[in-house]
Amino acid sequence: MSIHPPAKHYLWIWFLWLGIFYVSWFSLIHLTDAWQTTFDHWPMAVAMALGSYAAGSTPMGGGTVGFPVLVLLFDLPASLGRDFSFAVQSIGMVSASIFILVRRQPVAWPILKGATLGALFGTPLGIFFIAPSVPDLWVKVIFAIIWGSFGLLHLYRVNEISSHSGMTEFDEKWDHKLGFILGLGASALAVSVTGVGIDMVIYAALVLLCRADLKIAIPTSVIIMAFASLYGVVIKSVAGSWQPGVYENWLAAAPIVALGAPLGVFVVEFINRKYTLLIVATLCVGQLLWTCHNEYEALGFGGIALAFLAVGLCLLGFEKLRHWGAKLTEKDPSRL
């Protein structure tokens, strides 16, 4: 498996995409006379300026900021936060993915292809059969658990994660199967419920199991989240199951994230990714604590205890994955 990018870039394709998007966005606003609606939702645009940068420079999708802003700060339904994550990432993460691909940045293709195939089956399965049965309160809690555990992982493993160089290469068929299993499970159980998650799962497998460099792991996670988001938008549009309020917030945030996410991809090449990861990890842990505090009356002591138990189980899973990667590397030192 080759992870070395060719020298030639095709940035004109990304600029073409930006031109098509902004002309389409402006035409939509003008033809529907939605300028006032867009201006009224300026707080979401401001929030997604940070969210889109994080989406391009870390393995956390733009929904990592969009969801808690809508749900925790604006006190809107969690189902709205989930649907907004799909909508806004279908622009920001797609824009960042095009930027990554035309610049020929290294990507773990076998795992990415497997995860994409898994998401093809898992996303509709989750949207139609799993997400509708999850109460709004538990959508908030599941989101908090996923990203809280992810933040904690980086707070105590960031030095190790940021020190990897290259990538441990396994058999491509094995990588493909692993990607399929992870993509299927994450898209059905996490993406369909919270709007995010498959990027974190694939990233965790790459940095903990495959010992992948962040320059490989993060672009791969961005592309798989872009695919899952765009696919989710198509499914929800066909099914007509969008939550009220998503469109208005999307109008305000879309032109910001179209540039913000690729900017994150570009800028992070010139600064230490470790510090960016630490800042976002701290925010992830903060939203976990915030959710538990705000929902204490609804959850009670038992619900809070279960949430932290789930965080512990996620961390245990991460450590098992890391231990498995270490054992595989020990068996074949040439994979270091």
Per-residue model confidence (pLDDT) at position 278 = 86
User: Contact, 54 vs 60, CB < 8 A?
Assistant: yes
The amino acid at 55? A
- Buried-state track 268-298, b at ≥16 Cβ within 10 A, e below 16: beeeebeebbbebbebbbebbebbbeebeee
Per-residue model confidence (pLDDT) at position 2 = 47
| Coil, strand or helix at 306 | helix
Per-residue model confidence (pLDDT) at position 334 = 42
User: Contact, 47 vs 65, CB < 8 A?
Assistant: yes
Token pair of 42, please?
């300026």
CA 56, CA 52: separation in Å to the nearest integer? 6
Which residue numbers in the chain have pLDDT < 70?
A: 1-8, 61-64, 169-170, 330-336
Task: From 87, 82, 125, 109, select the one nearest 226 (Cα to Cα).
Answer: 87
User: Contact, 185 vs 119, CB < 8 A?
Assistant: no
Per-residue model confidence (pLDDT) at position 7 = 53
Helix count (H) and strand count (E) of the chain? 14, 0
Per-residue model confidence (pLDDT) at position 76 = 84
CA 139, CA 294: separation in Å to the nearest integer? 14
Q: pLDDT (tens digit, 9 = 90+) per residue, 117-130?
A: 999 999 999 999 99
| Coil, strand or helix at 99 | helix
User: Contact, 34 vs 250, CB < 8 A?
Assistant: no
Per-residue model confidence (pLDDT) at position 1 = 47
Per-residue model confidence (pLDDT) at position 311 = 96
Per-residue model confidence (pLDDT) at position 205 = 93
Task: From 116, 148, 83, 67, select the one nearest 227 (Cα to Cα).
Answer: 116
Token pair of 308, please?
């932290």
Largest CA distance in the chain: 64
